[in-house]
Amino acid sequence: MRVNLPDQLLLSVQKPARYIGGEVNSIVKDMKDIHTHFCFCFPDVYDVGMCHLGLQIIYHDLNSYEGVYCERSFAPWPDMEQAMRQQQIPLYSLETFTPLKEFDFLGFTLQYEMSYTNILNMLDLAGVPMYSRDRSDSDPLIIAGGPNAYNPEPLADFIDIYYLGEGEVEYEHLFQLYKEHMAAGRGRREFLKVAATVPGMYIPSFYDVEYEDHPAEGCDHTPRLKSVTPKDPSIPAVVTKVLVKDMDSVEYPTHPIIPYLQIVHDRAVMEIFRGCIRGCRFCNAGMIYRPVRMRSKENILNWVDNVLKATGYDELSLTSLASNDYPGLYDLLKEIHTRYPHVNVSLPSLRVDAFSLQLMEELGEGKKSGLTFAAEAGTQRLRDVINKGITEEEILGGVKLAFKGGWDRVKLYFMLGLPTETQEDVFGISDLASKIVHEWMQIPKEERSRDLTVTVSTSFFVPKPFTPFQWCAQADYETYMERQNFLNSKIRNKKVQYRCHDAFLSTLEGLLARGDRRTGNLIYAAWKNGCRFDSWSDLFDESAWKKSIEETGTELSYYNYRERQEDEVLPWDHISVGVSKKYLYREYERAQEGIVSPNCREKCSGCGIMGISETGVCYEKRAAAGNGGNEA
Amino acid sequence: MRKQIIYQKTGRLRFVGHLDFMRTMHRAMTRAGIPLAYSQGFNPHPHMSFAGPLTLGWDGLGEIMEIKTEKDISDTELLQSLSRELPEGIRLLGCQTLDEKEPPIMAKIQAAAYRIDLPEERDWTEPVNEFLSQESIRLTKIGKIKGRKQEVEVEVRPWIYSWTLTDPHTLELVCASGSEQNLKPDLLIYALYRFIGAEDLKYREHITRCSLFGRDPQGNLINYSDPGAASGRKELA
């Protein structure tokens, strides 16, 4: 069946190009050769989802397998949702307009907690039973992956299979088994049993969850988790993530789909390395993507040649969690610039120092865009607690050089509500902003540009699974807002702008991030109460969420405000990202003492990732570690 | 080198807005290796212009764009290499090299021919006859009064040059189009729906812009969308 969209419907919604598919480099296959029909489902609107690098990687990777067809679907914007519901149009795929219900697999990516209600909504729009237990052999298998999948429990009742780890590794294997399984005419439950034998696959319905028989300390009625155990001895007790051993051996899309619609980041994107050596204690990405694995310069340059030819883009982004940690970054950029002088190259997460300023000067051809510092905390003491290896001298030295070079916009990012934070730390944020303005004033008028803007943005710290702060109590709403108001009252300099926002979203994010299997009820209730697109401030319905929390009896004192004990069973303890709980706890203790830990290239901290795969920074020769080439 | 390209924009490309379409064209030209010329300055942009934006949802059968290249390229080579890079829904019909002194196409367009497919469930002969035979048709549209955008009422009857119903639900219309006088046929159709009290029909019509016209010194229409015709250029040269 093919979904037919009447013109009248498309003309009545905003940005109809979101719903039409057919973009350059999208893939069309003949269905008669297909044994596994997969739909990549992004639980947000098209314009956001199409910026997602993982989508492009998985899409092209899966479509390179024989007999497999991977299509795409996104969450329809509320105007489209309403029109689809009115006219009973089911959610469909963009390549062939096939109703999602007819696919073999629907693969959701879990990028942020506040997209969870969209997943339920997409299942509902697709006409697929929302709960895993209600699905029959004729329904698609719902598979989920991505960074938030490492705490699979909040959505465990809705997802059939979790894929833990990097998408390039096991899908081909899984689909091969699916093909054989289908040929043999066996049912859904048997397939799940087979899938459970594939590395990285976690099937929530095969595990029993038990709770203690009394409420946790300080809570009214929510008992602590006692255990999550496989129902059957053939099912693994702990599922470990799968990862790419050699970044140069996996395909990287040279023909990314080019949307018609202008999307948020409209450019070619190359992941230059995966993982991060830094070990910031609040950072989930820094832990779950370990170890650091590089793509070679030759491989990157090759890709640049191909992708520019295949897309016509004139902007290129080289992404990673910390650009400066790519050895030979300067040479790489020089080479790209020599080959393509008109192509604009952007580097996210670039540390500001003499080296990078020179780099920006050379690449920007006179354009001085803003400088960004992710200082994260206002004092050195607190930056040591979170292991953010950036000092005030580095920041002030960086801006001084930048001001002399003609830059005049500085953005500073901080978190409020970090563990051990005091008023002094919050004050430190406004103090640092003032010091930056002071640096600018010191520069003679004829050497600096005419005016300066310093923008301070704060977000609220949310403890995440698989970080040293996973045991932390999260600051409550009042504390968050009080600190924000305090900071707002301290920023008095006219050249400093302060960007802040409401804290309730952060409370919810924390609740879902460290939720367990009971949290699924809350997500379902929120969806029932009309929550969608919760990460869009104009669509976020605070009262509906509050109502849902009340209806389901979800205790924030249990999920948010409570410090976990060292021996407590955490909802994600049966999942392994390769980093040991022992290491994380050691880091948690060092945080409380304000002791900084070295990065992976300086000295190994024994996080445990070496044990799951012989690859990456852990096995780089120590000698090679010295000539990073970018520390100038 | 100046080039004029005539093309069709149909099918799902109808739902791609003008700005997005321009970007799509630009990228296709880059991929095709067309040596586009860029403006000088801080933010160089390609020399690409269009006869007039096509409204979202409409088909265009004889759309016109002009580009400047920094190197010479033959019309045939341009057509061949660009065609290969275009998505389904954009079809090139012709290309010709223009004299440098030729005014831009945008400035020359004065009229357009449309085919309007009206909702099929009724016979439109009578309502259309009655509506278009009025001596005066006034439409409200967004216009500028002393530079400020606001709703203005405009008399559009003189801007309708000719019309025929080729069957009970197909209206062919030639009307003013361009920077001076411009009648958007969708507004005319919505007024028709209002005229017969059937406003819920909005968006049910399907509009096709068939050709774009200029005028010769005598005031006769010249069809610029016809890739075969000399389009009056030779006379001017």
Predicted complex ipTM: 0.88
pLDDT > 60? residue B166 = yes
- Return the pLDDT at A307: 95
Neighboring chain A residues of B13 at a CB cutoff of 8 Å: 260
- Lowest mean pLDDT segment, chosen from A69-73, A419-423, A446-450, B118-122: A446-450
User: Per residue, what are the HEC states of chain B?
Assistant: CEEEEEEEECHHHHHCCHHHHHHHHHHHHHHHCCCECECCCCCCCECEEECCCCCCCCEEEEEEEEEEECCCCCHHHHHHHHHHHCCCCEEEEEEEEECCCCCCHHHHCCEEEEEEECCCCCCCHHHHHHHHCCCCCEEEEEEEECCEEEEEEEECHHHEEEEEEEECCEEEEEEECCCCCCCCHHHHHHHHHHHCCCHHHCCCCEEEEEEEEEECCCCCEEECCCCCCCCCHHHHC
Residues B218 and B190 in one domain: yes
In 3D space, the residue among A310, A296, A415, A400 whose CA is nearest the CA of residue A357 turns out to be A400
In B171-210, the residues whose Cβ lies within 8 Å of chain A are 203-204, 206
- Return the pLDDT at A501: 83
Write out the two tokens for A510: 């924390």
Domains in chain B, number: 2
Query: Chains A, B: CB contacts under 8 A, how many?
Result: 62
Residues B114 and B214 in one domain: yes
pLDDT > 80? residue A583 = yes
pLDDT > 50? residue A95 = yes
In B75-104, the residues whose Cβ lies within 8 Å of chain A are 85, 87-89
- Return the pLDDT at A350: 77
- Return the pLDDT at A351: 76
Residues B165 and B68 in one domain: no
- Return the pLDDT at A78: 98
Question: How far A17 CA lies from chain B's nearest CA (Å)?
Answer: 6
pLDDT > 70? residue A627 = no
Give residue A594's Cα distance to chain centre. 27
Residue B230, in any domain of the structure: no
Residues B69 and B138 in one domain: no
Residue B129's domain comprises 109-223
User: Cβ of B54 under 8 Å from any chain A Cβ?
Assistant: no
Beta-carbon separation of A312 and B87 below 8 A: no
Residues B146 and B197 in one domain: yes
Neighboring chain B residues of A258 at a CB cutoff of 8 Å: 24, 27
Residues B125 and B218 in one domain: yes
Beta-carbon separation of A11 and B89 below 8 A: no
**Per-residue pLDDT reduced to its tens digit, A496-508:** 999 988 899 999 9
Beta-carbon separation of B27 and A21 below 8 A: no
Boundary residue ending a domain (B107, B133, B164): B107
How many angstroms separate the Cα of A119 from the Cα of each of A54, A482, A541? 17, 34, 17
Nearest chain B alpha carbon to A9: B203
Nearest chain B alpha carbon to A5: B12
- Mean pLDDT over all residues of chain B? 91
Neighboring chain B residues of A7 at a CB cutoff of 8 Å: 57, 203-204, 206
What CATH number does the domain containing B99 carry? 3.30.70.580
Residues B143 and B130 in one domain: yes
Optimal mutation site among A3, A24, A87, interface B, most CBs of chain B within 10 A: A24
- Lowest mean pLDDT segment, chosen from A292-301, A402-411, B209-218: A402-411
- Return the pLDDT at A553: 97
pLDDT over 70 for what percent of chain A? Answer: 97
Torsion sign over Cα B87, B90, B92, B98: negative
- Return the pLDDT at A449: 78
Residues B140 and B43 in one domain: no
Residue B171, in any domain of the structure: yes
- Mean pLDDT over all residues of chain A? 93
- Return the pLDDT at A403: 87
pLDDT class of A594 with cuts at 50, 70, 90 = very high
- Return the pLDDT at A630: 39
User: How many Cβ atoms are within 10 Å of A167's Cβ, its own excluded?
Assistant: 23
Domain locations along chain A: 7-240, 267-365+598-632, 368-518+554-575
Q: Which residues of A touch chain B, with CB atoms under 8 Å apart?
A: 7-8, 10-12, 16-17, 19-24, 258, 260-262, 309-314, 366-367
Question: How far A366 CA lies from chain B's nearest CA (Å)?
Answer: 9
- Return the pLDDT at A233: 94
Boundary residue ending a domain (B57, B74, B107): B107
Average pLDDT estimate for A2-19: 94
Instruction: Give the nearest partner residue to A311 out of B27, B56, B204, using CB atoms.
Output: B27
Instruction: Give the nearest partner residue to A312 out of B20, B28, B88, using CB atoms.
Output: B28
- Return the pLDDT at B234: 38
Residue B64, in any domain of the structure: yes
Residue A156 phi, psi (nearest 5) = -60, -30
The string of DSSP letters for A260-275 reads: SS--SS-SEEEE-EES
Instruction: Give the nearest partner residue to B57 out of A7, A19, A261, using CB atoms.
Output: A7
Fold annotation for A368-518+554-575: Transcription Regulator spoIIAA (3.30.750)
Nearest chain A alpha carbon to B42: A367
Beta-carbon separation of A8 and B203 below 8 A: yes
**Per-residue pLDDT reduced to its tens digit, A224-256:** 999 999 999 999 999 999 999 999 999 899 999
Residues B97 and B138 in one domain: no
Average pLDDT estimate for A486-514: 93
- Return the pLDDT at A367: 62
Residue A152 phi, psi (nearest 5) = -80, -10
- Return the pLDDT at B140: 87
pLDDT > 60? residue A628 = no
Average pLDDT estimate for A541-559: 97
Residues B194 and B119 in one domain: yes
Residues B113 and B218 in one domain: yes
Nearest chain A alpha carbon to B86: A24
Residue B235, in any domain of the structure: no
Nearest chain B alpha carbon to A20: B12
- Return the pLDDT at A207: 98
Beta-carbon separation of A24 and B42 below 8 A: no
* Cα angle: B40, vertex A447, A403; to 5 degrees: 80
Beta-carbon separation of A260 and B21 below 8 A: yes
Write out the two tokens for A571: 């909802």
Instruction: Give the nearest partner residue to B88 out of A17, A22, A258, using CB atoms.
Output: A22
Residue B206 phi, psi (nearest 5) = -125, 120
Residue B145, in any domain of the structure: yes
Beta-carbon separation of A262 and B21 below 8 A: no
User: Cβ of B21 under 8 Å from any chain A Cβ?
Assistant: yes
Write out the two tokens for A32: 């008669």
Neighboring chain B residues of A261 at a CB cutoff of 8 Å: 16, 20
Residues B46, B68: Cα–Cα separation, whole Å: 8
HSE-up of residue B163 (Cα within 13 Å, Cβ side):
22
Residue B234, in any domain of the structure: no
**Per-residue pLDDT reduced to its tens digit, A138-155:** 999 999 999 999 999 999
pLDDT > 90? residue A208 = yes
- Return the pLDDT at B42: 74
- Lowest mean pLDDT segment, chosen from A1-15, A360-374, A547-561, B126-140: A360-374
Q: Tell me whether domains A267-365+598-632 and A368-518+554-575 share a fold.
A: yes
Pick the CATH number of A7-240 from 3.30.980.10, 3.40.50.300, 3.40.50.11900, 3.40.50.280: 3.40.50.280
- Lowest mean pLDDT segment, chosen from A257-271, A418-432, B111-125: A257-271
Fold annotation for A267-365+598-632: Transcription Regulator spoIIAA (3.30.750)
How many angstroms separate the Cα of A299 from the Cα of each of A80, A138, A272, A451? 41, 43, 9, 42
In 3D space, the residue among A429, A446, A441 whose CA is nearest the CA of residue A495 turns out to be A441
Beta-carbon separation of B20 and A261 below 8 A: yes
Boundary residue ending a domain (B107, B123, B152): B107
Question: How far B204 CA lies from chain A's nearest CA (Å)?
Answer: 6
Residue B229, in any domain of the structure: no
Residue B237, in any domain of the structure: no
pLDDT class of A364 with cuts at 50, 70, 90 = low
Greater confidence (A414 vs A368) lies with A414
Optimal mutation site among A7, A50, A92, A305, interface B, most CBs of chain B within 10 A: A7
- Return the pLDDT at B91: 96
User: Cβ of B49 under 8 Å from any chain A Cβ?
Assistant: no
Residues B130 and B91 in one domain: no
Question: How far A13 CA lies from chain B's nearest CA (Å)?
Answer: 11
Maximum mean pLDDT: which of A264-268, A406-410, B174-178, B227-231: B174-178
In B117-136, the residues whose Cβ lies within 8 Å of chain A are none
Beta-carbon separation of A7 and B89 below 8 A: no
pLDDT class of B237 with cuts at 50, 70, 90 = very low
- Lowest mean pLDDT segment, chosen from A84-88, A400-404, B75-79: A400-404
- Return the pLDDT at A447: 80
pLDDT over 90 for what percent of chain A? Answer: 81
Strand partners, B59: B208
What CATH number does the domain containing B195 carry? 3.30.70
Beta-carbon separation of B31 and A311 below 8 A: yes
Instruction: Give the nearest partner residue to A20 out of B15, B26, B203, using CB atoms.
Output: B15
Average pLDDT estimate for A188-198: 95
Average pLDDT estimate for A383-407: 89
Question: How far B223 CA lies from chain A's nearest CA (Å)?
Answer: 29
pLDDT > 50? residue A114 = yes
